[in-house]
Structure formats: C-alpha cells, structure tokens
C-alpha cells in the first residue's frame, strides 16, 4: 500500500499486523450494509485465518450471521491475485440459526467448478448432510464465523479427525513439546552438492560439509544422505574469516563451485545487511552448529514426511527441525525414546489427517509443513499414556527410523488405539 492507503487502513482497522486493503473494504462494506443486507466477498485467506485479520473478523462476527466460508485450493480464477483467495458470505442478524456452510476444494483446476456446482445443489436440497466428493467437501459448522478466532475451512475428513482426536483430551499442540525451527537460507544452490562429490574430497576438506535435509532426503519417514551442504559453522571447525582461509581449507570446492559463482554470491542483497562474507549462507541457523538429535521434515510434503536425525549430523535446509523442549515431556524415558515415539505418531495416517486440518494445500497437492502451521498440530501427550502402549509406540518409531516397517496400517492401528479412536 502507498503511505496514504496505509494511514487509511490504520484509521479504519486500528492497530493490525500486516493489514491489507481487502480488510478495509470488508469493514467499509459492513458499515454500508442495509438492515436486511448481505455481504459477499472474494477475500484473501489472511482475512479468514491470519492474525492480521482478527479485527476484521471481530467486526463481521459481531453484526453478521455467517452463511458461507470457503477455502479455494485452485487460484487460476484469480490469476492476477498475489495471495490465496477464499469466499465469505454473511447476512445481517437475525438470520436463520443454521450453521455456517464450509466449502473446501483441493488444488486441482477442475475441483472448484465441481465444488461450485455441488454447492448449488446442496443448498437446493437443504439437507445439510456433509458432502465429500472428489476434490471438495461441503458441510456445516457452528463455530466458524462467529468470533474473531481464525475461520478455518478444511476438508471434512480432516476436520472430523481433528474434532475426534481433540475430544480425547490425550493430545496437546506440537508447540508445547517442540521448538520447530526453519532450516537454513542458502541464498544460492551452489552450496548444495551430491554425496559422491564429498566422498571424493580429502578428509580435511570434506569435514566442512554435512548431509542436508532436502525434500528428497525424506522418503517413507526415513532419511538419506544423498545431498550435502557446505556448512563451515559446525563446532570444532577452524574459522574461515578471509578468502585465503577459504582457499586453504576447501581448495577444491572453492575452485570448482564458489569461485565461478562469486559474482552472483557477492550480489546477494542480504549480505551487506547481515555483515556477511560473499561465500557465506544467508542464515546458517546457529542452533545447527552443534550436532543434536532432532525430528526433521520436508518443506512441502504429504504423509510420512517426517524423519528422525538420530546423530544430529544432518543440517535442515529445505524443511524444518523439531527440537524437543527441555522438560516438556515429564517422563522417566530418554529424549531419544521421546523422539522415536513422536516419529511413530507423525508417520501415521491420523497425523496426516490432522496435518491437513492445520496446514494449507499448495499446487501439486502437497501441504505446507512450516512452523506457521505445524506448531498447532495435535500430537499425543506422552505423559498421559500407559507404559505398555508408550513402549509400543517408541519401538515402532525405532523400526520406522531403521526402515523396517512393511505394513503401515499397523502403525495406524497403534496410534488409533492410543488415542481411543
């Protein structure tokens, strides 16, 4: 927004984190609405779910009875839009007491057309029964659109699983157990090399590389070390403060990779601001300098997109790291056992359904696994489990980490029994 628009937004919305003009128009539209009026709008998803939309949601919820909240996975209808779009429809109170209609579509282009046709038929029948067709869901909820809390529209099965697991009172949000951290920011792919390249380097030079967690590094909840990242920040390594140091410690890599890319690396805009040398990663994440066990995840993924880095050797690059908070699980078992237990849960289809509720789907059908979403993922409260099922969960995590699971439905049965589903 231009400065003048920013001032108008502040005046209309009050204090707000990252407001946008859609929120301003929603607020003005609400003020202009007649006694029997209906407000219908295509809206950025931030108004529906983000903290920046809290003020606008509060204003709408106070005056309007929500009729429809929709999350649209396919965005080609709004090709010039810079953000994901949704739909909101609300009527002046009093309106019929029926719950809010929730519409969710996946990212396939044909799903939105199918969903809109389904919505018209669904309204005509007035049955209110949930519809779960290929590519979309339609159902009603009483708790969406009535307060300033996020108005989350998700696939029916994901919502149903979330409500069922939540009612068990055996789960807690992941943020209460883990510090979920984003991986390094490279600034250029020259810092990533394949495993075979590192194996051919002299040992003294190879120690400046560590296996990298990329999307391709996790398959069926197991890690592979096919890719390595240049990471001169690890504990025990000599400091590289000058270009001469760089040549002395990594001469082959310098000659073959860094020097040919020097101009591009030096022109990265964030370097000067962060006071970095041209050969450095933009954000190396200091918590990774020490090798510590952690659960790692892809950046975008689906089921079984988490794995356990038992030695702590891996550096999270394209993805996140889940670090166990000290004292978060008051049990007389080791941290490693806790990690194994949670790996087993995160590898289940129940965890995947819960993930689909808290996260968003991107083009291609995968889900965003960044902390912004996964911090709210419901996970078992291990302290509430009986010793026998807890041990079974831990041992299942061990087998998953070792790639010894042949029947994934067995993992689902264990998690289901623990959560009383």
Longest pairwise C-alpha distance within the chain: 78
Nearest Cα to 312, choosing from 283, 280, 288?
288
Mean pLDDT value across residues 266-273 = 87
Least confident segment among 10-14, 265-269, 325-329, 403-407: 10-14
Strands 100-105 and 64-71: parallel
Mean pLDDT value across residues 40-57 = 90
Strand partners, 294: 309
- Spell out the alpha helix ranges (H) of 222-312: 243-249, 251-253, 262-266, 270-274
Cα R_g (the chain), whole angstroms: 25
Calpha distance 412→209 (Å, rounded): 37
Q: Which helix (H) or strand (E) holds 109?
A: helix 109-125
Strands 227-230 and 294-298: unpaired
Query: Which comes out higher in pLDDT, residue 77 or 198?
Result: 198
Average pLDDT for the chain: 92
> Does the pLDDT value for residue 421 go beyond 80?
no
Mean pLDDT value across residues 343-347 = 98
Strands 178-182 and 367-368: unpaired
pLDDT tens-digit series, residues 205-230: 999 999 999 999 999 999 999 999 99
pLDDT for 407? 93
> Does the pLDDT value for residue 126 go beyond 70?
no
Query: What band does 13 get if pLDDT is binned at 50, 70 and 90?
Result: confident
Least confident segment among 55-59, 77-81, 388-392, 414-418: 77-81
Domains of the chain, earliest start first: 3-153 (3.40.50.12420), 178-418 (no CATH)
In sequence order, the 6+-apart residues with CB closer than 8 A to the CB of 256 are: none
Half-sphere exposure (Cβ direction) of 88: Cα atoms closer than 13 Å: 32
- Spell out the alpha helix ranges (H) of 126-194: 156-167
pLDDT for 97? 60
pLDDT for 405? 93
Least confident segment among 86-95, 239-248, 315-324, 387-396: 86-95
Sign for the CA dihedral angle at 310, 316, 319, 320 comes to: positive
For 169: left if phi > 0, alpha if psi spans -120 to 50, otherwise beta; the answer is left
In sequence order, the 6+-apart residues with CB closer than 8 A to the CB of 78 are: 42, 85
Calpha distance 211→217 (Å, rounded): 9
pLDDT for 109? 81
The secondary structure of 378-406 as a DSSP string is EEE-GGGS-HHHHHHHHHHHHHHHTT--S
Angle between helices 408-418 and 335-346 (to 10 degrees): 110
> Does the pLDDT value for residue 59 go beyond 80?
yes
> Does the pLDDT value for residue 374 go beyond 80?
yes
For residue 407, whether the previous peptide bond is cis, meaning omega lies within 30 degrees of 0, is: no
pLDDT for 85? 85
> Does the pLDDT value for residue 7 go beyond 90?
no
Mean pLDDT value across residues 54-78 = 88
Percent of the chain with pLDDT over 70: 96
- List, edge to edge, every strand of the sheet that includes 100-105: 38-44, 85-92, 64-71, 100-105, 136-141, 131-133
Calpha distance 250→271 (Å, rounded): 21
pLDDT for 385? 93
Mean pLDDT value across residues 389-418 = 95
Name the percent of the chain in helix, strand, coil, to the closest 5: 40, 20, 35
Calpha distance 228→314 (Å, rounded): 9
What tokens appear for 30 in the block? 């609400």
Query: Which comes out higher in pLDDT, residue 158 or 21?
Result: 158
> Does the pLDDT value for residue 404 go beyond 90?
yes
pLDDT for 95? 60
């Amino acid at each position: 927004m231009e400065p003048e628009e920013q001032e108008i937004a502040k005046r209309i919305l009050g204090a707000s984190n990252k407001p946008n003009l859609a929120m301003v128009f929603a607020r003005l539209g609400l003020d202009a609405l007649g006694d029997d009026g209906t407000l219908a709008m295509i809206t950025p998803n931030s108004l529906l779910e983000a903290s920046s939309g809290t003020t606008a949601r509060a204003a709408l919820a106070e005056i309007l009875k929500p009729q429809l909240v929709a999350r649209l996975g396919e965005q080609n209808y709004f090709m010039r839009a810079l953000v994901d779009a949704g739909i909101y429809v609300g009527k002046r109170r009093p309106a019929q007491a029926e719950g809010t209609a929730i519409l969710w579509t996946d990212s396939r282009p044909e799903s939105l057309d199918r969903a809109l046709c389904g919505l018209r038929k669904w309204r005509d029948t007035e049955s209110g029964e949930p519809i779960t067709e290929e590519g979309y869901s339609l159902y009603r909820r009483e708790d969406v659109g009535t307060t300033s809390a996020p108005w989350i529209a998700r696939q029916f099965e994901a919502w149903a699983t979330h409500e069922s697991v939540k009612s068990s009172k055996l789960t807690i949000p992941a943020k209460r157990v883990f510090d979920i951290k984003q991986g390094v920011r490279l600034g250029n792919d020259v810092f990533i090399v394949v495993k075979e390249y590192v194996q051919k380097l002299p040992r003294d030079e190879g120690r400046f590389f560590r296996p990298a967690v990329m999307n391709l590094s996790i398959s069926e909840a197991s890690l592979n070390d096919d890719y390595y990242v240049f990471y001169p920040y690890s504990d025990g390594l000599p400091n590289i403060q000058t270009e001469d140091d760089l040549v002395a410690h990594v001469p082959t890599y310098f000659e073959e990779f860094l020097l040919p890319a020097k101009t591009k690396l030096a022109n990265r805009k964030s370097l000067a601001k962060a006071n970095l040398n041209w050969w450095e990663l933009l954000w190396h994440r200091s918590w990774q300098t020490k090798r510590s066990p952690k659960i790692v995840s892809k950046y975008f993924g689906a089921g079984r997109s988490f794995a356990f880095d038992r030695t702590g050797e891996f550096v999270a690059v394209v993805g996140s790291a889940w670090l166990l908070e000290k004292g978060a699980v008051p049990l007389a078992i080791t941290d490693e056992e806790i990690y194994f237990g949670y790996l087993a849960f995160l590898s289940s289809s129940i965890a995947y359904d819960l993930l689909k509720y808290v996260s968003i789907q991107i083009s291609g059908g995968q889900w965003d696994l960044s902390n912004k979403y996964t911090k709210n993922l419901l996970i078992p409260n291990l302290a509430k489990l009986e010793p026998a099922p807890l041990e079974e969960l831990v041992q299942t995590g061990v087998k998953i980490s070792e790639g010894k699971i042949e029947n994934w439905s067995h993992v689902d049965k264990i998690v289901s029994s623990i959560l009383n589903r």
